[in-house]
Amino acid sequence: MERIAIVGVGQTKYERRKKGEIFYDLVYEVTVKAMEDAGFTLNDIDNVITISNDFWDGRTISCMAVQEAAGAHDKNVSTVEGDGTFGAFYGAMRVLGGFGTTLVVAHSKGSEGDPRFITNGMFDPIYHRPLGIEVLSASALQANVYMEKYGVTEEQFAQVSVKNHGNARKNPLAQLPMNITVEDVMRSRKIADPLKLLDCSPISDGAAAIIIANEERARKAHKKPVWIKGIAHCSEAYFLGDRDLADPIALKEAAKKAYAMAGIRDPLKEIDVVELYDAFSYMEPLWLEGLGFCGPGEGGRMIEKKISTMEGSLPVNPSGGVLSAHPVLAAGLARIIEGVLQIRGEAGEHQIDGVKTALAQGINGPCGQSHCIWIMGRDQ
Amino acid sequence: MSNWIERVEPLTLKGQIKVPYTWSVGEVGSRFLVSLRDDQKIIGNRCSECKTVFVPPRMNCGKCFKRITDWVDLSPEGKVEAFTIVRFAYPLQPTEPPYAYALIKLDGADVGFLHIIKGDLDRLKKEVRVKAKFAGKRTGHIRDIEGFSIV
């Protein structure tokens, strides 16, 4: 693959409700931040990709309303409806397709819609939606299947919540920094078995942007480029009943392809930090299995052994992860940005020492129907 | 002048998008829903390639990419493959919590059938056998099955 890199990043602070800014303002804020970070002006941006969703924005073809805020005036612009990692994947392809640079921006204001009704809307309208299922109950179903199949425990899930909310205390952009215990998680309000309130990510507002550049343009950026070493995504069946919810085959396939592209043979040894889409606590161990960091059913023990803590051999979500801020659509892009900051050594208090290679993950669809994997590196 | 923005009262505006849809259920789905309505019977169909019996039935197999032609009568009974007990109440739900969502492997089918289980929830566990309860007034809708109960 031709060499392409991430040269600029920008994020808002993630908050429960932003009343001072509308979508347009959030997109503008992170676009300016990403350009400043790269040392670029609008003239250096060749192409723009905006990521939005009509249901979340309460407006049809919602992408049209934020294009100027993304600096797309008089430019080529395309749109993605899905997680930011998938939009960034498209952005990378646009750079490989000939554009010198592409700015990718995602925004979300979960506070403005009704996440239960909106996520009910992602299910099949004929057979599933009338049953009232939405993301909380569907994810609880998946968590239960995972526990039943491998004997993973609620306490192990709770440890993920404790760890990631604890890590968030070191990230000034995180929404929910918390000093909590496993008992706090276990005692929190029951939502849908086995998930309790503290196993679930919050409703969030925020935006994120990155600039992807080809090698020539990357050399002109202000910051040291973070090279895109491997990217892949994969999808599986839509209906939950068609899948083994404890076996994330789409994730395994996406990881396999991304590792092959990046030349990674032993992910546990070669990857220094991981940013996962942990919308619910059970997702961290399950996704770690899918990513090949451990065998099937071993994710819970991996959490217990504290391998994924900031001090562990494979730090996972030092930013606090999605559990600590869940701007839907922007959340995956935030994972990529956190990987970039770690590689640059700019992650501040949640910096992991000596990061050369980072992995970021995004998901689309109910219970991780699709996964997008990014491997980024300091060195070419 | 520079700090005027701090003195602005943040307003919020209420609104709602409400759009009616009429979804075509398709030939295969119509046969399935009509069978629920008229015969109180759950039917599925079988892929000629991988032999998977699907419920709800579908026109083609996403894996094999083959047109599906064989219909299969399924039992109203099956066993629970996966479940969660919902503890929160919300206006979009079809019934009062607690109730369960479950993936039910109906006898004769190969995939999980998503539906709700009401009552007797302390007896609910994996592999438990359940039976469909049909609604008195049926309209050709997935909720012509009111829910499943533990046998």
Residues A309-325 have pLDDT tens digits of 999 999 999 999 999 99
How many cross-chain Cβ pairs, A to B, lie less than 8 Å apart? 100
Per-residue confidence band for A154, with pLDDT thresholds at 50, 70 and 90: very high
Inter-chain touch B101–A130, beta carbons under 8 Å: no
DSSP letter string, chain B: -TTGGGGPPPP--------------HHHHHHHHHHHHHH---EEEE-TTT-PEESS--SB-TTT--B--EEEE--SEEEEEEEEEE-S--TT-SSPSSEEEEEEEETT-SS-EEEEE-S-GGG--TT-EEEEEE-SS--SSGGGEEEEEE-
The amino acid at residue B70 is D
User: Are B94 and A58 within 8 A, CB to CB?
Assistant: no
Residue A243 one-letter amino acid: R
**pLDDT at residue B6, as a whole number:** 78
At residue B139 the predicted structure's pLDDT band, cuts being 50, 70 and 90, is very high
B94 touches A at CB < 8 Å: yes
Q: Spell out the residues 6+ positions from residue A258 whose beta carbon is closer than 8 angstroms to its own.
A: A230, A231, A232, A264, A359, A373, A374, A375
First to last CA, chain A: 12
Closest CA to A298 of A308, A288, A311, A283: A288
With cut-offs at 50, 70 and 90, classify the pLDDT of residue A281. Answer: very high
Put simply, the answer to whether B115 touches A131 (Cβ < 8 Å) is yes
Mean pLDDT of B129-139: 98
What is the percent of chain A with per-residue pLDDT over 90, rounded to a whole number?
99
Report, as an integer, the average pLDDT of A363-370: 97
Nearest residue in chain A measured CA to CA from B11: A19
B13 interfacial to chain A (CB closer than 8 Å): no
Looking at chain A from residue 253 to 312, which residues have their Cβ under 8 Å from any Cβ of chain B? none
Residue of A nearest to B140 (CA): A126
Residues in B closer than 8 angstroms to A250, CB to CB, are none
This prediction has a pTM of: 0.97
**Is residue A246 pLDDT above 90, yes or no?**
yes
Q: Do A130 and B141 touch (CB under 8 A)?
A: yes
Residue B89, chain A, CB below 8 Å: the answer is no
Whether residue A69 has pLDDT greater than 70:
yes
Instruction: Name the nearest CA neighbour of A121 among B19, B75, B56.
Output: B19
Asked whether the beta carbons of A4 and A215 are under 8 A apart, the reply is yes
Output the pLDDT for position B1: 55
Chain A residues with CB under 8 Å of B142 CB are 126-128, 130-131
